[in-house]
Amino acid sequence: EAGVAQSPRYKIIEKRQSVAFWCNPISGHATLYWYQQILGQGPKLLIQFQNNGVVDDSQLPKDRFSAERLKGVDSTLKIQPAKLEDSAVYLCASSEVTFGQFFGPGTRLTVL
Amino acid sequence: GQQLNQSPQSMFIQEGEDVSMNCTSSSIFNTWLWYKQDPGEGPVLLIALYKAGELTSNGRLTAQFGITRKDSFLNISASIPSDVGIYFCAGQMGGGSQGNLIFGKGTKLSVKP
């Protein structure tokens, strides 16, 4: 069974530029999550989707971050404009109803 | 916000040694999960615990869901070099896989020089 796919794996941008990350969850997983992991810390939830609806986006900085999950499968997370403090690893995870979350390899973002 | 206190922050292991780490919270969780993260990779699920008092094993790994639902521990027996990495505990309020995971800051396992 294929795992959670993410791209790109690495991205370097200047501050104030825009960036987008893509995630393809495990086939059949209805729930999709985006996490931000700052160096030396555990992941922190940004947004949770159930199919194509948002369940929890309370910790998403909505002035600059946006996410969508069209058709309830793939998802994109966008940052516009990026700030220095957005440098982090962005992790996508997916889950079925009755089991733990499975993570992708992440996208490491560096904002200069 | 909710926080998980994970300890120790780091530890050195010698091959063959047993390792213990734990996680405590001021909040009650319905699910405890333990993940391992290698450099440049996403966290990999090791063990999931769904019931207070539950003791679950996965090979050389054993984890327990505390009776108070505010803590969990992970033991690794007879450690091997590939056990090196960062271990995260995570608590979840909702049932099943629903709801936000709250992560600890991790326990970094390194090989004793």
Tokens of A8: 């790109």
Q: Quick one: pLDDT at residue A16? A: 97
User: Quick one: average pLDDT of A82-91?
Assistant: 97
User: Quick one: average pLDDT of A69-96?
Assistant: 94
| Percent of chain A scoring above 70 in pLDDT | 96
Judged against a pLDDT cut of 90, whether residue B103 lies above it is answered with: yes
Tell me the CA distances in angstroms from B39 to B76, B77, B84, one per residue in order.
Answer: 20, 22, 10
A13 vs B: CB within 8 A: no
Measure the CA dihedral A27/A2/B89/B9, to 10°: -150
Q: Quick one: pLDDT at residue A2? A: 83
Judged against a pLDDT cut of 60, whether residue B95 lies above it is answered with: no
Return the sign of the alpha-carbon dihedral for residues A86, A91, A92, A98.
negative
Q: Quick one: pLDDT at residue A19? A: 98
Q: Quick one: pLDDT at residue B2? A: 66
Which residue in chain A is spatially nearest to B101 when comparing CA positions? A45
User: Quick one: average pLDDT of A34-50?
Assistant: 94
A48 vs B contacts (CB less than 8 Å): 100
In 3D space, the residue among A81, A80, A79, A84 whose CA is nearest the CA of residue A111 turns out to be A84
Q: Quick one: pLDDT at residue A39? A: 92
In 3D space, the residue among A14, A11, A5, A19 whose CA is nearest the CA of residue A112 turns out to be A14
B50 vs A: CB within 8 A: no
The string over A53-66, giving b where at least 16 C-beta atoms fall within 10 Å of a residue's C-beta and e elsewhere, is eebbbeebeeeebb
Both ends of chain B: CA-CA distance in Å?
Answer: 38
Judged against a pLDDT cut of 70, whether residue B98 lies above it is answered with: no
Hey, how many other C-beta atoms are within 10 angstroms of the C-beta on A75? 23
Hey, how many other C-beta atoms are within 10 angstroms of the C-beta on B37? 22
Are the C-beta atoms of A33 and A101 separated by less than 8 Å? yes
Are the C-beta atoms of B98 and A99 separated by less than 8 Å? no
Look at A42 and B44 and tell me if their CB atoms are within 8 Å: no
Q: Which residues contact A72 (CB under 8 A, 6 or more apart)?
A: A30, A49, A51, A52
Q: Quick one: pLDDT at residue A111? A: 97
Judged against a pLDDT cut of 90, whether residue B92 lies above it is answered with: no
